[in-house]
Structure 1
Amino acid sequence: MTPALVHDRHRTASPTAEQTARARDWAEIQERMLVPLYEAVYERLEIGPGSRVLGLGCGTGLALLLAVERGAAVHGVETDAARLALARERLLSEPEWGTRPWEARLTPGGPGEPLPQEDGVPTLVTAFEALPGAEALARTAAGLERGTPVVLAGWGPSERCATAPALRVATRLAEPAAEPASGCAHWCGRDDLEDLAHRAGLRLDGSGRVACPFGYAGMESAVRGLLATGLYDPAVRATDEEQVLKELVEALHPYLREDGTLWMPNLFRYVIART
């Protein structure tokens, strides 16, 4: 079968070797930790054939790939050129012979840009990995049909996230005015997701919590995976990489098991809002 692939028409600057390595660490180590979140949302909203999923901050495309496997058409938007390049490898390469065709588009950029009319209007919008600002989210929502679900996701309460001490290393060492470099850096307060939806002019229509344990083959894998989130970049700029690595390893050490693996239970939450 010939795949029905839709390539983006935009050109972006080639990422550096360091950016590519970081993006690959995200794709190969860290991104899979969020699969329970992706699947829970798709199951609840009954994503399947006929669905059109728009992923804001789609990362390296794993969430979109899971939607494709359910029969959905997908469109991913991502600002990170290195992550976008890996998403292309996943979604815009030739599938194995006999695989059914799918429809996928990937676009560089952030939320709030005009939706391409040739794709059809999305039936679901997700922000799994990077929360957009309220104004950008409102602009995206303005191009949707009334009642379209928009899913916003973030960390659960810090007391329910074993990774919290490791993430506090980044917060403590970073410059006071530093902005998080990735959606993974956003700690969500009790009502932060709901407040964002309200400020974007959306109506709340449910929420959920999903266990997303972080499991790593070893300390090196854990450090690479967490650094790939981008959360620690401001801390490295404020101090130095050696200091960040030292304190990160110390924070992770209590979760190191006898066999050398690390296991950290975490809780993520999401809200469903509608236009």
Structure 2
Amino acid sequence: MASARVTGTTAAPPGTGRASARARDWAEIQERMLVPLYEAVHDRLEVGPATSVLGLGCRSGLALLLAAGRGAQVAGLEPDDELRGLARERRLRVAAHHRPGADVARSAYSLVTVFEQPPPGTEPRRTVAAAARLVLPGGHVVLAAWGPRERCESAAVLDVARRMARRSGARDPFELSPPGALEDLLAGTVLRPAGGGRVGCPFAYPDPGSAVRGLLATGLYDAAAEFSGPALVAKELEESLQPYLRPDGTVRMANVFRYLIAERPR
């Protein structure tokens, strides 16, 4: 099977126009892959007009937009300038940091979501501790992670990031996948486990070029691009997608994500 050509897929160096392009790639290509996860959580917790939602690391805000569509009051925190700008284009209240009385006005929320894995250099326990401080008594915090590696066809594709980063410290996307890993993050907080589940989130793209752009937009390949060069990472990523290329030219990988619901006692 011939390899499709990929154009415009190099990783986005910080502070350039490519950073904006990569943020757009996330919002327009990759973010929708997680809609089944967002909707499963919203259904499980009956998100609606009585719910106030804070998204930690909300990126361009699709999960918040879906919650707002159910009538919830929503706000987000997103440190990346480009992604935060896209969320604001969706008329969402998103700030870089939590400052009561500023962009994100509430001091606590009935639901705090952490759908995205913290970036390299950020300790997941600190993120969970922050979520615990921002949730109301009787409210919930939701943590999400990739499911078991063997249940995720994207595992082989994500392995490109690890291989090409060598010793530069790329985060393993499956570090929170083992049983009990998410639950362990609750230690030392007021939160207690209150259920969870697994959700199928297939990654489906119209062509390999879109797949490469969407995957690079996750940020998981940043360390690899820095160590091995963005062009080489894009090439290796394109080649790793070949087993998932369908006769009609589309790309599809079946994946499972898991989520943990934690409750703050009243």
TM-score (norm 2): 0.85
Q: Which deviates more, 200-209 or 36-45? A: 200-209
SS at match of 1:166: helix
1:236 alignment counterpart: 225
2:49 alignment counterpart: 49
Q: Judging changes above 3 Å, is the alpha-carbon distance between structure 1 residues 115 and 193 closer, same or farther for their aligned structure 2 residues?
A: farther
Q: Which letter does structure 2 place at the counterpart of 1:234?
A: A
Instruction: Give the conservation status (yes or no) of the 8 Å contact 1:58–1:76.
Output: yes
2:211 alignment counterpart: 222
1:77 alignment counterpart: 77
Q: CA deviation at 1:133?
A: 2.5
Pairwise mapping of residues 140-159 of structure 1 onto structure 2 (< 5 A)?
A: 140-159=131-150
Q: Which letter does structure 2 place at the counterpart of 1:215?
A: A
**Structure 1 counterpart of 2:162, from 146, 164, 171:** 171
Q: CA deviation at 1:194?
A: 1.1
Distance of 2:50 and 2:187 partners within structure 1: 28
Q: Structure 1 runs of 4+ off > 3 angstroms?
A: 113-118, 184-187
**Once the two structures are aligned, what percentage of the paired residues are identical?**
51
SS at match of 2:218: coil
1:207 alignment counterpart: 196
Instruction: Give the conservation status (yes or no) of the 8 Å contact 1:155–1:186.
Output: yes
Q: CA deviation at 1:268?
A: 0.3
Instruction: Give the conservation status (yes or no) of the 8 Å contact 2:55–2:76.
Output: yes
Unaligned runs of 5+ in 2: 1-13
Instruction: Give the conservation status (yes or no) of the 8 Å contact 1:134–1:199.
Output: no
Q: Judging changes above 3 Å, is the alpha-carbon distance between structure 1 residues 240 and 149 closer, same or farther for their aligned structure 2 residues?
A: same
Does residue 261 of structure 2 align to residue 272 of structure 1? yes
What are the superposed Cα offsets for residues 56-109 of structure 1, whole Å, 9 maximum, x if unpaired? Answer: 00010100000000000001000111000000111x2xxxxxxxxxxx521113
What are the superposed Cα offsets for residues 240-272 of structure 1, whole Å, 9 maximum, x if unpaired? Answer: 223212221121100000000011110000000
Q: Which letter does structure 1 place at the counterpart of 2:224?
A: A
Distance of 1:137 and 1:114 partners within structure 2: 18
Distance of 1:144 and 1:64 partners within structure 2: 16
Q: Judging changes above 3 Å, is the alpha-carbon distance between structure 1 residues 135 and 187 closer, same or farther for their aligned structure 2 residues?
A: closer
Q: Judging changes above 3 Å, is the alpha-carbon distance between structure 1 residues 192 and 115 closer, same or farther for their aligned structure 2 residues?
A: farther
How many residues get paired? 244
Q: Judging changes above 3 Å, is the alpha-carbon distance between structure 1 residues 246 and 144 closer, same or farther for their aligned structure 2 residues?
A: closer
SS at match of 1:50: coil
2:94 alignment counterpart: 106
SS at match of 2:113: strand
SS at match of 1:147: strand
1:252 alignment counterpart: 241
Instruction: Give the conservation status (yes or no) of the 8 Å contact 1:56–1:130.
Output: no
Q: Which letter does structure 2 place at the counterpart of 1:142?
A: R
Q: CA deviation at 1:197?
A: 2.1
Q: Judging changes above 3 Å, is the alpha-carbon distance between structure 1 residues 157 and 125 closer, same or farther for their aligned structure 2 residues?
A: same
Distance of 1:56 and 1:158 partners within structure 2: 25
Distance of 1:151 and 1:32 partners within structure 2: 19
1:89 alignment counterpart: 89
SS at match of 2:135: coil
Q: Which letter does structure 1 place at the counterpart of 2:260?
A: V
SS at match of 1:124: strand
SS at match of 1:268: strand
Distance of 1:124 and 1:237 partners within structure 2: 36
Distance of 1:260 and 1:187 partners within structure 2: 32
Q: CA deviation at 1:128?
A: 0.6
1:100 alignment counterpart: none
Q: CA deviation at 1:202?
A: 1.7
1:64 alignment counterpart: 64
TM-score (norm 1): 0.83
Instruction: Give the conservation status (yes or no) of the 8 Å contact 2:131–2:141.
Output: no
Q: What is the RMSD of the two structures over their aligned residues, measured on CA atoms?
A: 2.0
